[in-house]
């Protein structure tokens, strides 16, 4: 939908009927990164505040555990029940999102990668973003086999980020060890040295910050130890990622950890069973949609929070879901 039309619908309250139509369903919103100013790859502080203000008028924001319990027990959710989730555990969730959440009195959930918060690792998708930002090469070409070659001219920051994202999409399909090796090969090819720990713009929150969040309504839950694509690891690695992350969080937070987020939303029935066996009561995916009592609690849908307020309202109201169903039916 064209931006101007979307703004017009938003300005005239055109999304209100869709809130009413979805009032008995659970919306789980997904965020990743936050910025103080405008940044195409992050949600700015001002945009995030606009989202929270919109939710304060139209939705009822709940803690994740309360929403999951309602779904499990079949009890009624409040109208337009909403859960705010933030993936990975970057420092900007504490520095930028947390003060805004406190201002509105909203609970939220941060799905944290434990080795990331332990300051042991990068989030691997950031490695390629760093490499593309730092290389002095202006023309790049990478062979991923079977005729799949990524070529690009790095004319500006936007193109560098786009190229990194294209490469990451290929890396996600590789077995975990091959993926890690390919990242090293690309960094060497472009003469970029990878620091052992991420620089501030890619850094995680600390455990002290995580405990502060957890004690003040922004609960810390599990997102694995190292954020691998779980369908690309063996059974022993899968169990390690699920169980060790849970144990590490419980050790640091001093409470039971029962909720999980699949990295990249990638899973199969074996991964789902492993999450259940590890003791998780719920798990979220990247599958688009709202939730109700019929949803598998280990396969909960989420909706990405788009930065522009009119795009955010379109998704949060359920208007976008209707559009998707209409276009799918036409196809």
Q: 73-129: per-residue pLDDT in tens? A: 999 999 999 999 999 999 999 999 999 999 999 999 999 999 999 999 999 999 999
pLDDT at 323: 81
42, two tokens: 């992050």
Q: φ, ψ for residue 236 (rounded to 5)?
A: -65, -45
pLDDT at 2: 77
Dihedral, 213, 31, 38, 50 alpha carbons, nearest 10? -80
Angstrom distances, CA of residue 288 to CA of 45, 83, 86, 299? 24, 14, 16, 11
What are the residue ranges spanned by the domains of the chain? 3-120+200-330, 124-189
pLDDT > 90? residue 326: no
Q: Which residues pair with 140 in a beta bridge?
A: 152
95, two tokens: 């520095």
Report the half-sphere exposure of 83 (CA within 13 A, side-chain side): 28
**Which homologous superfamily is 3-120+200-330 in?**
Glycoside hydrolase/deacetylase (3.20.20.370)
* Segment 215-263, tens digit of pLDDT: 999 999 999 999 999 999 999 999 999 999 999 999 999 999 999 999 9
Q: What is the pLDDT confidence band of residue 329, given thresholds at 50, 70 and 90?
A: low
188, two tokens: 């060497």
């Amino acid at each position: 939908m064209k931006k101007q039309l979307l703004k017009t619908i938003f300005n005239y309250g055109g999304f209100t009927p869709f809130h009413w139509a979805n009032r008995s369903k659970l919306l789980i919103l997904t965020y990743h990164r936050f910025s103080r100013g405008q940044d195409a790859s992050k949600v700015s502080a001002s945009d995030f505040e606009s989202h929270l203000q919109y939710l304060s008028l139209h939705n009822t924001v709940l803690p994740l555990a309360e929403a999951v319990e309602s779904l499990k027990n079949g009890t009624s959710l409040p109208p337009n029940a909403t859960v705010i989730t933030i993936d990975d555990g970057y420092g900007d969730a504490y520095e930028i999102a947390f003060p805004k959440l406190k201002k509105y009195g909203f609970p939220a959930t941060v799905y944290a990668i434990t080795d990331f918060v332990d300051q042991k690792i990068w989030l691997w998708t950031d490695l390629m973003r760093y490499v593309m930002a730092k290389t002095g090469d202006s023309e790049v070409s990478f062979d991923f086999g079977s005729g799949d070659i990524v070529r690009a001219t790095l004319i500006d920051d936007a193109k560098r980020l786009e190229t990194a994202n294209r490469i990451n999409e290929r890396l996600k399909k590789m077995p975990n060890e091959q993926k890690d090796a390919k990242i090293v090969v690309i960094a060497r090819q472009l003469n970029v040295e990878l620091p052992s720990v991420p620089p501030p713009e890619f850094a995680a929150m600390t455990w002290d910050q995580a405990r502060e969040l957890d004690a003040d309504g922004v609960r810390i839950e599990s997102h694995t130890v190292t954020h691998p694509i779980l369908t690309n690891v063996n059974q022993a690695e899968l169990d390690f990622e699920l169980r060790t992350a849970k144990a590490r969080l419980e050790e640091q937070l001093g409470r039971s950890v029962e909720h999980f987020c699949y990295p990249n939303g990638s899973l199969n029935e074996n991964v789902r069973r492993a999450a259940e066996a590890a003791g998780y009561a719920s798990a979220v995916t990247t599958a688009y949609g709202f939730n109700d009592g019929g949803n598998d609690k280990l396969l909960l849908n989420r909706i990405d929070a788009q930065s522009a307020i009119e795009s955010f309202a379109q998704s949060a109201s359920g208007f976008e879901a209707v559009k998707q169903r209409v276009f799918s039916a036409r196809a």
